[in-house]
Amino acid sequence: MRSVKPILWSRPTSDGHYQIKIRITENRKPTYINVGIKVKKGDWNEYKDRVKTSHPNSEYFNNLIETFLSRYFGGEQLIKKDSIQGNGTLGLLFEMRIKDFESQSRMSAVRRYHTLLKHFKTLNFDKIQVKELSIAHRQRLDNYFISELKIEPSTRHSYHKAIKTTLNYAKGLPNSFQLPKDDIYFNHKVQFKPKIKVSLTSNEIHKMFDSTNYRFTSEKQTFAIQLFLFSFSTMGMRFKDVLFLKWGNIKSGDLSYVMSKNNRDMNVKLNGNIVNILKYFLPSELYMNPSINFKLSKPKFNNPLSIQIYELESEYYDLKGKQIRLNLMQSISSRKYNHLESSKLKKIIKYRDSLLILLIQQFAKTNNGYIFTNKFDDNLNYQQIYDRAGSLNAIINLDLKGVAKIFEIREFSFHSARHTFAYLSRQNKTDIYLISKCLGHSSLSITEQYLRTFEDQEVYDVNDSMVDLISSFYK
């Protein structure tokens, strides 16, 4: 007889959370499948075997649990016949890995592993038992990638990394797979030059924030800028995570979400930059920008916070205009332009931001719709959601190319917001441990590797400037 039940693992991880696993008991022998998510002990309902609805991501987590239960209920075999006594094939191992990624809605990994599995099938590697893999197989695969497919070194590196992590995954399934006797990746390394990460300067970020206030870009470009700046202000949040945010993710002055790439719990404290992006996505009965509404009559808000915010911003834009004209007159005589805000303007901004935080928290208590999009509904499966998110990401990146032309800066993508946050943090001498925690990396070595690309670019820039200097001697 077989029983399938979700459980909270008895031992906590290093961050004090507990993993959720599926316990499959057959012939009195239990097997545990890791769902890939974890919660605090108080967030688990032991009577219903589900995450409590009070958890900000309860709906997402419980859907994953249901996906696993539907897979292993009804007598479906967890392990196929050809995997008994550790004789599982490479094809079976990758199929199980793909199912794991699907259950975690990691669709980019699903695609990559599906592609790799197709290559295995072309070479008939999918039928090889994992324990029979050898260096000769790895060499044949390398030759196939280089000579026949002419795959770029960076792609080959990612494929080999996928194989290595999958062999590691097989260690947790000793009854299904035996590992190769020899290390097939002994002394093996794919040499490749990582792509340069494009990041913006603090001055360029400041100009983009200004553009959201005065709207001198198109509506689509303004939306792209707003998403980009939101990502930068939330410690480099990835596009998919930004897109899936709901107002319900905002609680007690924090923005909480689960990072889609590695299921890490992330918390970001609401600050002035964040709420000054979110305000544009509030309904018009709660917020209206005076700089855009200057030709219309003063709006009538029912919420006292909205009234105060509108009056403060009206005062700000009035004083800001006078200061710009004054600075312009001073710059004519001194030939230097002053960009600094006056102390009075700073006080207005600070008070306005504190009211915005209260207004947004107030709105989030009674609303749980998506913040930035209306493109998703409960009828879509994970694959459809992933495809739609990818399409929207491509559109945003196209709009950001237009933004780059307007600002006369090098082309950048949405993901450059993450790079910019990391780069400016490092320039600010922020401790690498804190940068790693902000980015949600699983280890310091990943952060070090991530930041190394920026260091290489700085070296190239210094070298280029030195070449230009030397060349000028001979002109």
Query: What percent of the chain shows pLDDT beyond 70?
Result: 84
Q: Give the pair of three-digit tokens for residue 364.
A: 């989030």
Closest CA to 287 of 226, 219, 356: 356
**Alpha-carbon span 159 to 162, nearest angstrom:** 5
β-strand partners of 22: 6, 33
Are 103 and 72 spatial neighbours (Cβ–Cβ below 8 Å)? no
Which is higher by pLDDT, 48 or 364? 364
pLDDT of residue 378: 62
pLDDT of residue 128: 93
DSSP 106-175: -HHHHHHHHHHHHHHHHTTGGGSBGGG--HHHHHHHHHIIIIIS---HHHHHHHHHHHHHHHHHHTT-TT
Q: Give the pair of three-digit tokens for residue 194.
A: 């990582």
Mean pLDDT, residues 90-95 = 90
Phi–psi pair at 139, nearest 5 degrees: -65, -40
pTM over cut 0.75: no
pLDDT of residue 309: 94
- Residue ranges covered by each domain of the chain: 1-78, 80-193, 205-409
Phi–psi pair at 12, nearest 5 degrees: -80, 160
Return the top range by mean pLDDT from 17-31, 257-271, 314-328.
257-271
Lowest mean pLDDT among 78-92, 148-162, 180-194: 78-92
pLDDT of residue 33: 82
pLDDT of residue 352: 94
**Alpha-carbon span 354 to 309, nearest angstrom:** 10
Closest CA to 278 of 321, 305, 325, 242: 242
Mean pLDDT, residues 175-201 = 85
> What are the tens digits of pLDDT across the range 6-48?
999 988 887 788 889 888 887 777 888 887 788 899 999 988 8
pLDDT of residue 324: 67
**Averaged pLDDT of the chain:** 83
Split at pLDDT 50, 70, 90, the class of 213 is confident
Decide if domain 80-193 falls under CATH 1.10.150: yes
pLDDT of residue 455: 58
